[in-house]
Structure 1
Amino acid sequence: MMFISRPIAAALFGLSLVALTGPAFAQSAPPATGGMQASPHCAKFSDKEREQYQAYMRVGARRNVEENFTSAEQNFRQALALHQKVCGRDDPGQTDALIHLALQISNQARFDEADPMFARADRMARGTDALVAVRAQHYKAVHLANQGKDKEAIDLALATEKAYFALAPELVALLDYKPTATSSGSSGLGAPRQRFADPRAHQRVIQGTAVSGTGQLAAQGISELMRLRALLALNLDQPAEARSLSQHAASLLAGVGIDPGGVRWRAIRVAGLGAADEKRFSVAVADLSDSARGLNTQLKNSQPAGRTFMDAGRAQLAQGNVGGAISEFRRGAEVLRAERNLVPAEAVEPYLTALMRQNSPNSAREMFDAAQLIRNGLTANFLAAAAVRLGDSNQQVAALQAIETELASLAQRRDNAVNRNADQATIDGLDSQIDERRLARNKAEEAVRASLPNYFQLIQGQPRASDVLAVLRPDEGFVQIVLGQDRSFGFLLTHGEVQVWSVSLTLGQAEAEVSKLRGAFTPNARGELPQFDVAAAHDLFKRLLGPATRNLKPLKALTISTNGALQSLPFSVLVTEAPPAIGAYEDYRKVNWLARWFATSYVPAPQSFVLLRRNASVSRAPSAYAGYGGFSPIPVGSAARIIASARNAPQVASRGCDSDARELASLPILPLAKTEVELAAKQLPGAQTHIGPQFNRASLLRGGLDRFKVIHFVAHALLPAELKCLQQPLLLTGTSSDAVTAADIAALKLDADLVVLSACNTAGADGRSAGEAFSGLVRAFFTAGTRGLMASHWSVVDESTTLMMVNMLGRIGKGARAPGVLRDAQISLLDGKGEGDLKEWAHPFYWAPFVFVGNAPAG
């Protein structure tokens, strides 16, 4: 069975929204306008406003078909705001822009945000254009598929297809239209006798077809729903059904004579995937090659085109044609690199497999370069932007990033305001702020281009092996583990060489292994720790790093990048040699942990590593240390207000969050927070401390933090995964009445070499970013301006943490590099070298939770 990625829109290449939104369909008086007359229910649009609205929708549609969902979201958000500004927030004509925005958010797996938008669209669609009402159900079907609700998605898709046919019954006869075949061995769907509509074109209707404008829109909707069902059929191991549905979708568009956005070529792609699942590889190769070249003709150097070349290579590889496969893979890589597009790991995995089989002298470097085509997530992008910003403290970049953070926050607040039916004055006020910030962003972008012309290329770059090797220090290595659905690979870059090996661990297996090992870090009801499975940790080491042991051992430092569940496990707990039996805590000291070999650092992607090394200069802050610590128990009422504030919602909207408020109110005090901050401060001249009530939101946001090289927080941290009503991470202060959100932190101005989060779970996944490795709290500090961050992967016991932190911060504040200092502190705690160290601290629960993320200045 072919793997279909989630959200399903990624595998769909996104709906070809341009086919459903282009100004080509604003005819003079059709039965249904498709929502593109700005609003058939609102006569308030001026000609200029109508053109602006259509331009937003048109550009958003183009970006969507290129799978640039983030940019498409911005365009559709602008269209919706304009419509609401002109016609009012309750005008049903806004439904079209609303569902397009909701779908972009769903395509990015932000389902909790998309749900209320689709619910609002359901209510408003009853009073809108008939075609838009059907389309609202269409997009909701995709939203369901994105979430893995396949049966619900299929049922709604079938019902919506019937509704489209009811609007254009003449389409039924075109389902079996047969174009002339042009590809030997293919399905015949690739015939070029099509009238292709450039999504950027301004023509009002596709000429030369007898089908009405309404029929054209309905045909595109039907074909996309059939393609959706075809992809879901592939996921259900029904390749024949998938191929049949794809053929009907392509035939319908051929019969109508249209193909805006390459919808038909996308259907041919799914037909090719179905043929591959049936092991009819010659047909699959022909269909997928046709589709790739067709898409690249219509959408030059786009993500869909590059991804389909990868599919064609995969079919060639399955056919046994390694050379042909590599040729297609290289073509796909060329297409993707042209516009710096990225694809999911499963798209690149066959390319790596083919190169491994070829085993040429340059295969290892090409494999590493190919692995950089894999989409690496939000944290990597944040770190990339932060790295460039920190290069010589670029003020223009800092200003742009601050504005982008403000805009994202304002957009979220506006969505929440509309969804909770806030008064018009509130929405108008937010719109004014957004308009002002957009103008400021435009000016800031011009300033960045003037001072750093290649900034946007840098933050979206795809580094090569040579780039990583160029920034490595002597006796240092870089490891990347690429976990796939079927095959995984490891890379070690050191001393000018690249080593590659197969990793006998898949994404699913890694999740199980990491879960098993992390189980030892959760005390039972009696407060006792389970025994850590050192044998399993040794087996995992052999599978991940065993083939590279000879080249790893001489190193003094290692930077690690990986994906999947491995991102939530410190590699320091891996065991390098067969371990002894564990009968007592002291036996853990006899184990050969990876922590004994070298200091480790972590980055979300090689791109982050290269940019942090190249662009992040050493902090120019004049003072060594600022410490914040303490926690005062929070009354339930205050806890409810804190959660509501973090949701950008009034307390009345948070009544379903009572259990979260009670949990927040139950958090214990941190008895050693004051001690930890004061002892650390005593070791460093000019240190500043904020303890207890002095550690509050106002003091933190007041500014001046850019004067400190090291910033230390001893506080409770909460992530959205821990509280169902929490929409962003929180850092709780020393008062009983306020908290600091990730958005607050991102707006800070730092010039720090290191931020330390001596709190709970601060490196864990935050529940809002589709499996991201590091929490929004961690990302926020990088956005604010730190080069490195020390955070914990699980809840930490106060006593051991305090000892580690006090010892480490004294050394780091005097210039020692954080990764090495962390490793020394871990080994000291493990071996019980400190006076008063407890024997149970040899358990990795105590010494291993902290990791260093980012880049430490050379010292």
Structure 2
Amino acid sequence: MRAYRNLFGAVAAAALAFQSPAYAQSGEAIAALIEQGKAGEAETLARQALAAAEAASGRQSAEAAEAQLTLAYALFAQEKWDASIAAMERRAAIYEAIAGADSEQAVSAVSDLTSALIAVADRAEEAADWTLAEASLERIVTLYAKFREPSDRDAIGYRRRLATAIKNQGRPVDAEPILRQTLDLAESTYGSGDKLTLDLINDLGRTLEAQGKHDLAGELYAEALEAGRKAFGPDDPGVLVYAQNMGASLMYQQQFDAALPVIKDTLERRTRVLGPDAAHTLFSMSDMATVLTFKGDAGAARAIWEDLVPRSERVFGPEHPYTAQIRNGYALYLDRAGNDPAKALQEAQLAADLVRARREVVGLDPRGQRTLATFTEEDAFYFELWLHTLHQAGQQEGLPQINRIVLFYEAIGAIQEAMESPANMAVIRRAAERAAEVEGPELAALAKERQELSQQWQNLAVTRSTLMRQNADSTQLTQVEGEQGRLETAIKAIDAQFLEKFPQFFNLLRPRPVDAPDLQQMLKGRDEAVLIVLPTALGTHIMAISGSDMDWHVSNLPARTIDEVVRRLRWDLGASVEATPEEKAEWIAEGQGLGPYPFDRRLAWALYNQIVAPVEWVLEGKRHVFVVAGGSLSALPFSVLVTDEPQGLDGDPAALRATGWLADKYALAQLPSVQSLALLRQFGSDSDDADGFIGFGDPTLTGVAQPRGGGQDVRGGTRDGGAIRAIGFSQAYVPSTDADGLPKVNIEALRGMARLPGTGTELEAMRKVLGAPASAIMTGDRATEAAVKSADLSKAAIVTFATHGLLAGEIDGSSEPGLVFTPPKTGSASDDGLLTMTEIAMLRMNARWVILSACNTAAGDGSAGASGLSGLAKSFFLAGAQSLLASHWPVRDAVAAELTVGAISAQRDNPALSRAEALQKAMRDIRNDASHDTDKDTWAHPNAWAPFTLVGDVE
């Protein structure tokens, strides 16, 4: 109630300012009802007062404006945040209309609106509802930009809080540039020793830490801690925040001996200064219990955990995210202690249940969809720990077999939740839209419109972040904010129609994991199996499921080790891998004299023995194997795993051809999730209606023509995307905006990229094999973004894009991944030469094959829960593609046409072959073609034959 009184304390006074005693009486009555806890009755009275004021004085009157304020008060007291803020906005709009935007009344109304938003943000932060906090803080930042300088202390403070809300939703990359710009502003205005500056340094450290950059974060914490102790003393609550983060950073870096005294000192000071039940004291207790857990002091750790869990429930509430976090830490302690697996499982499941419940309350509007996508990364560890404790519980001696089966069934659900990903959400959204189409043309049109509006909203969200980083003026921010509001209103109207006519639409948007019996039933009678592999910090989980059998194994290899193995193998394959100069020198030198550019088959064999062999008895003899891989494994095609001990030299073409590759044992396909297979089969594209071919590639670019991939450049050579960095536009480019004030893509940087003539050869070969007319391929000046958008792609069974693929942020003016086309002379919203992820999702396709012969289109996101699909690839699922043929590294010009055409030809010549089998045959034919062997090159190297992965269904 304190927040309500502070926010709306002037209600009665405002009412008395009018000449109407009745209005003054109603205002006082509304306030009294709220104070008595009768907010619902207050709302009824407030709406009656508003109706009376509008009837007496008009909707655009001061009396109506102040009646909106009392209504906002009543709504706020019921935590109807959106409705309360809307009433405050109407009040401000009335005063702007009748008195002018710069009038005292309008400025005061906007100030009150800002206060209301601040109160909502405060409440959201207390409840760790960061989605609501972000929405409120975005508005606050915009409103402050209208009336205060960017260097104003409060304006900086709210930008800081906005960055924190963004970071806490699992988007630290988005938060970092906002924080850096705000920190520069605070430091230049208030100095390096000011409290606000130090808080921003600390926040930047937390943002870097959330990206896994613990060493850099530790340096920032140390800087803030040293300066803070000098300026404010070691007991200052803010300085203790820096100290806590310093201790946690050391712990994350596994420097437990160094972390312990820092954490212990912070806990003692907080207990004395803040009290034993203060929230920050509980955070320090959690850190203390965690560091003792990892140091092996089980007795001391247990005492703290058993005190901390009930205390956190009492302080935060049993369902609060902080309670879930503490309970998860306790479950980790119990798991490591190893003497009570049933209790560890119980606590881990309770923590996971809290996370699941938090997901359930998130809306399905664009902001909620974005939050769900970040939840999958932020909360993955809860489900990973639950999965691990399920396995540990199943290992108990004497456990009845039926109990083990029940635990395994639970684990199949847990691993799906741990691997939930934005790419899978793309498949889910498309399935919901397909279901709407089945219901009839009206709902199909609504689903299409909803997707387009949602994509526009998401694009504006990115634009808004960019404008904030650039410290844009309030006019630009207000414009974007207004457009987002318009889109939100339109989406809500569509959702209301779906709730009335097809409520199942929303059930499809948030489906449950596939149950084990349902999964087996889906596979039963089919010659196929599913292999699920999830690396975690606690080990790597491997599950194999067929229509008749199941198995589950946990490798001791943690995600960190898997990451290093994948990194090295991808280097050998010619993928884009960041490596230190020392690593590059070591890796390039290895194997010299054994062949032109060896592939480390023994490492690939060792990985196979860890992540496939233990459960392979379930896969044996199967025609198709679907691979669902998490983490860095999603960026490695399983086709390159070696199934038998390698013989001969790694660089010898004959030895490479004689190698037992997993690609030969099974026709492989990759899936974003188990869930996506069920959805694709139930609501996939009706590709029987499509039979044509269309291809785009070899755009007109002015850079020196370059062949793609291969040869001795595989190891230590240039990587795709290097061309754009080499031409220097990124450093010299001055950011510009279009007529609407939105960032523009650097068209000259696109134009200066290297031309790719080999892609034209690839498309022409594909056209001839398919018997398509010459008009079916668009190259050179015809290969434009506008041509893609205007083409009727829904009639094509095969759609190919053979061009540069850019990662997010690789070109100025766009923070999304995209495909490069012939740049126009002058860019526009419809054609700037870059077909982005958002624009791809808005295409309408019906293709059996979408071939992405560009770099990194199948690469993983590199984050927890990564999908094995970049933003580009998952957007094609949203557009309606049934399967993708996507590349993990630059496909060699000499091989690209043979691979893609070979796969399509194989299926055309033998319709009994699935898409997966057709790709399998094409890869084998490339590998066994010895006519291209030289002393410097061979097609037997997996760089040549294995760049493509089939993503989606196999048939």
Deviations 1:706-749 (A, max 9, x none): 33333211112122486799733231224586332333323333
Deviations 1:820-859 (A, max 9, x none): 22122112222339x9999932221111110012234xx4
Q: Residue in 1 aligned with 2:921?
A: 824
Whichever residue aligns with residue 150 of structure 1, its letter is A
Q: Residue in 2 aligned with 1:98?
A: 159
Q: 1:587 aligns with which of 628, 632, 655?
A: 655
Q: Residue in 2 aligned with 1:361?
A: 404
Give unmatched runs, 5+ long, in structure 1: 1-20, 30-35, 167-171, 176-217
Whichever residue aligns with residue 326 of structure 2, its letter is T
How far off is 1:330 after superposition? 2.9
Q: Residue in 1 aligned with 2:99?
A: none
Deviations 1:403-441 (A, max 9, x none): 222122212223333443556554443333223222223
> Per the alignment, do residues 855 and 45 of structure 1 end up closer, same or farther by CA in structure 2, a change over 3 Å counting?
farther
How far off is 1:595 after superposition? 0.9
> Per the alignment, do residues 281 and 27 of structure 1 end up closer, same or farther by CA in structure 2, a change over 3 Å counting?
farther
How far off is 1:572 after superposition? 0.7
Q: Residue in 1 aligned with 2:435?
A: 391
Q: 2:137 aligns with which of 76, 96, 111?
A: 76
Task: For residue 789 of structure 1, give the secondary structure of its aligned residue in structure 2.
Answer: strand
Q: Which moved more, 1:835-844 or 1:227-236?
A: 835-844
Distance in 1 between residues matched to 2:247 and 2:892, nearest whole Å: 52
Asked if residue 612 in structure 1 is aligned to residue 695 in structure 2, the reply is: no
> Per the alignment, do residues 331 and 26 of structure 1 end up closer, same or farther by CA in structure 2, a change over 3 Å counting?
same
> Per the alignment, do residues 538 and 836 of structure 1 end up closer, same or farther by CA in structure 2, a change over 3 Å counting?
closer
Whichever residue aligns with residue 156 of structure 2, its letter is T
Q: 1:779 aligns with which of 874, 883, 886?
A: 874
Distance in 2 between residues matched to 1:156 and 1:448, nearest whole Å: 54
Q: Residue in 2 aligned with 1:381?
A: 425
Q: Which moved more, 1:42-51 or 1:303-312?
A: 42-51
Q: Residue in 2 aligned with 1:679?
A: 766
Task: For residue 533 of structure 2, give the secondary structure of its aligned residue in structure 1.
Answer: strand
Asked if residue 562 in structure 1 is aligned to residue 624 in structure 2, the reply is: no
Distance in 1 between residues matched to 2:204 and 2:549, nearest whole Å: 50
Contact 1:481 1:544 in 2 (8 A): yes
> Per the alignment, do residues 786 and 159 of structure 1 end up closer, same or farther by CA in structure 2, a change over 3 Å counting?
farther
Whichever residue aligns with residue 923 of structure 2, its letter is Q
Q: Which moved more, 1:374-383 or 1:517-526?
A: 517-526
Asked if residue 120 in structure 1 is aligned to residue 156 in structure 2, the reply is: no
Of Structure 1 and Structure 2, which has the larger fraction of its residues in helix?
2
How far off is 1:134 after superposition? 6.6
1:374-523 → structure 2 map (5 Å cutoff): 374=418, 376-393=420-437, 394-420=444-470, 422=472, 425-450=475-500, 451-453=502-504, 455=506, 458-459=509-510, 461-472=512-523, 474-522=526-574
Q: Which moved more, 1:546-555 or 1:343-352?
A: 343-352
Contact 1:621 1:752 in 2 (8 A): no
> Per the alignment, do residues 533 and 840 of structure 1 end up closer, same or farther by CA in structure 2, a change over 3 Å counting?
same
Deviations 1:485-526 (A, max 9, x none): 242221111125431112242222222222332333239899
Distance in 2 between residues matched to 1:406 and 1:471, nearest whole Å: 36
Asked if residue 535 in structure 1 is aligned to residue 602 in structure 2, the reply is: yes
Task: For residue 804 of structure 1, give the secondary structure of its aligned residue in structure 2.
Answer: helix
Deviations 1:248-279 (A, max 9, x none): 33554437x8x5xx555434322321332343
Q: TM-score, normalised by structure 1?
A: 0.77
1:288-367 → structure 2 map (5 Å cutoff): 288-296=305-313, 298-319=316-337, 320-340=339-359, 343-345=379-381, 347-348=385-386, 350-358=388-396, 360-362=403-405, 363-367=407-411
1:269-288 → structure 2 map (5 Å cutoff): 269-288=286-305
Contact 2:175 2:207 in 1 (8 A): no
How far off is 1:483 after superposition? 1.1
Task: For residue 404 of structure 1, give the secondary structure of its aligned residue in structure 2.
Answer: helix
Contact 1:242 1:271 in 2 (8 A): yes
Q: Which moved more, 1:141-150 or 1:481-490?
A: 141-150
Task: For residue 275 of structure 2, give the secondary structure of its aligned residue in structure 1.
Answer: helix
Distance in 2 between residues matched to 1:498 and 1:309, nearest whole Å: 31
Q: Residue in 2 aligned with 1:632?
A: 700
Distance in 2 between residues matched to 1:65 and 1:349, nearest whole Å: 30
How far off is 1:49 after superposition? 4.5
How far off is 1:150 after superposition? 3.3
Whichever residue aligns with residue 459 of structure 1, its letter is R
Asked if residue 573 in structure 1 is aligned to residue 640 in structure 2, the reply is: yes
Distance in 2 between residues matched to 1:380 and 1:590, nearest whole Å: 37
1:633-648 → structure 2 map (5 Å cutoff): 633-634=701-702
Distance in 2 between residues matched to 1:632 and 1:427, nearest whole Å: 36
Task: For residue 835 of structure 2, give the secondary structure of its aligned residue in structure 1.
Answer: strand
Whichever residue aligns with residue 275 of structure 1, its letter is L
Structure number with greater Rg is 2
Distance in 1 between residues matched to 2:111 and 2:230, nearest whole Å: 28
> Per the alignment, do residues 241 and 124 of structure 1 end up closer, same or farther by CA in structure 2, a change over 3 Å counting?
closer
Distance in 2 between residues matched to 1:417 and 1:624, nearest whole Å: 43
Q: TM-score, normalised by structure 2?
A: 0.70
Q: Residue in 2 aligned with 1:847?
A: 945
Distance in 2 between residues matched to 1:164 and 1:400, nearest whole Å: 53
1:258-273 → structure 2 map (5 Å cutoff): 263-273=280-290
> Per the alignment, do residues 607 and 765 of structure 1 end up closer, same or farther by CA in structure 2, a change over 3 Å counting?
same
Contact 1:819 1:852 in 2 (8 A): yes
Q: Which moved more, 1:612-621 or 1:486-495?
A: 612-621
Asked if residue 739 in structure 1 is aligned to residue 834 in structure 2, the reply is: yes
Contact 1:348 1:374 in 2 (8 A): no
Distance in 1 between residues matched to 2:511 and 2:220, nearest whole Å: 34
Contact 1:522 1:529 in 2 (8 A): no
Contact 2:785 2:821 in 1 (8 A): yes
Q: Residue in 2 aligned with 1:697?
A: 785
> Per the alignment, do residues 714 and 140 of structure 1 end up closer, same or farther by CA in structure 2, a change over 3 Å counting?
closer
Task: For residue 536 of structure 2, give the secondary structure of its aligned residue in structure 1.
Answer: coil
Q: Residue in 2 aligned with 1:667?
A: 754
Whichever residue aligns with residue 331 of structure 1, its letter is L
Whichever residue aligns with residue 344 of structure 1, its letter is A
How far off is 1:791 after superposition? 0.7
Contact 2:629 2:868 in 1 (8 A): no
Asked if residue 688 in structure 1 is aligned to residue 688 in structure 2, the reply is: no
Give unmatched runs, 5+ long, in structure 2: 11-84, 90-101, 360-374, 438-443, 576-587, 705-722, 826-832
Distance in 2 between residues matched to 1:432 and 1:224, nearest whole Å: 37
Task: For residue 330 of structure 1, give the secondary structure of its aligned residue in structure 2.
Answer: helix
Whichever residue aligns with residue 714 of structure 1, its letter is A
Asked if residue 763 in structure 1 is aligned to residue 858 in structure 2, the reply is: yes
Q: Which moved more, 1:632-641 or 1:133-142?
A: 632-641
How far off is 1:574 after superposition? 1.0
Q: Which moved more, 1:277-286 or 1:455-464?
A: 455-464
How far off is 1:317 after superposition? 2.9
> Per the alignment, do residues 736 and 28 of structure 1 end up closer, same or farther by CA in structure 2, a change over 3 Å counting?
closer
Fraction of identical pairs, as percent: 19
- After superposition, the CA RMSD in angstroms is 4.6
> Per the alignment, do residues 832 and 60 of structure 1 end up closer, same or farther by CA in structure 2, a change over 3 Å counting?
farther
How far off is 1:112 after superposition? 6.3
How far off is 1:152 after superposition? 2.8
Contact 1:325 1:354 in 2 (8 A): no
> Per the alignment, do residues 395 and 27 of structure 1 end up closer, same or farther by CA in structure 2, a change over 3 Å counting?
closer
> Per the alignment, do residues 641 and 727 of structure 1 end up closer, same or farther by CA in structure 2, a change over 3 Å counting?
farther
Contact 2:541 2:555 in 1 (8 A): yes
Contact 2:801 2:853 in 1 (8 A): yes
Q: 2:275 aligns with which of 254, 274, 290?
A: 254
How far off is 1:101 after superposition? 1.8
